[in-house]
Chain A
Amino acid sequence: GENVEQHPSTLSVQEGDSAVIKCTYSDSASNYFPWYKQELGKRPQLIIDIRSNVGEKKDQRIAVTLNKTAKHFSLHITETQPEDSAVYFCAASGRDSNYQLIWGAGTKLIIKP
């Protein structure tokens, strides 16, 4: 079955710098890759997602890139701000997982003032 690995587990960046979180997946049939942000004590919220027919997607300061050949996808946050501090989860799903999300372990992003 599908397996999703996420790195790093913790990322500390200076405010204003960029942050990159990377996930790899094992099932080449996976075709949907969302990213969720979870602030302390709050629910996970979808921030961006990408499907396998697209290589990159942007939404203001957030972008996701997908490399189907290498089976990895990455979250890019530019001009980081204190409110970006949270745990970020990647996930993957596809026909072979019955379209269930297989989650990464999460990355704690710390924005240093």
Chain B
Amino acid sequence: EAGVAQSPRYKIIEKRQSVAFWCNPISGHATLYWYQQILGQGPKLLIQFQNNGVVDDSQLPKDRFSAERLKGVDSTLKIQPAKLEDSAVYLCASSLETGSPLHFGNGTRLTVT
């Protein structure tokens, strides 16, 4: 079984620039999550999709972050404009359904300078 695919692995941008991350979940997984993990901390949920609908985006900073999951498969997360405090690893995860075990991708390490 192929795992959760994410790209890019690393990204360095200057503050106020924009950036986008891509995620392809495990085939057949209806639920997709984007997490932000700051160094030394646990993952923080940004947004959860069930198929192509948003289940929870209460912790997504909507003034600068956006995410979509068109067609209920791949997803993109965008930051525009980036701030220094956005430096973190952005993890995508998927699960068969809500309440099922999560499978994480390798993440994208973002550095904002």
Residue positions of A touching B, CB distance < 8 A: 32, 34, 42-46, 49, 89, 93, 98-101, 103-106
User: CB distance B42 to A99 under 8 Å?
Assistant: no
- Of B41, B45, B91, which contacts A43 at CB under 8 A? B91
Which bracket fits the contact residues of B? 10 to 19
User: CB distance B99 to A103 under 8 Å?
Assistant: no
How far does the alpha carbon of A104 sit from the alpha carbon of B56 in the complex, in Å?
A: 20
Residue positions of B touching A, CB distance < 8 A: 41-45, 48, 55-56, 91, 98-99, 101-107
Residue with the greatest number of chain B CB neighbours at <10 A, chosen from A45, A89, A103: A103
Contacts of B41 in A (CB 8 A): 105-106
Contacts of A98 in B (CB 8 A): 55-56, 98
Contact residues of B: prevailing secondary structure: loop
* Nearest-CB residue, chain A, relative to B103: A46
Contacts of A43 in B (CB 8 A): 91, 104-107
User: CB distance A100 to B45 under 8 Å?
Assistant: yes
Contacts of B98 in A (CB 8 A): 98-99
- Of A32, A44, A46, A93, which contacts B43 at CB under 8 A? A44
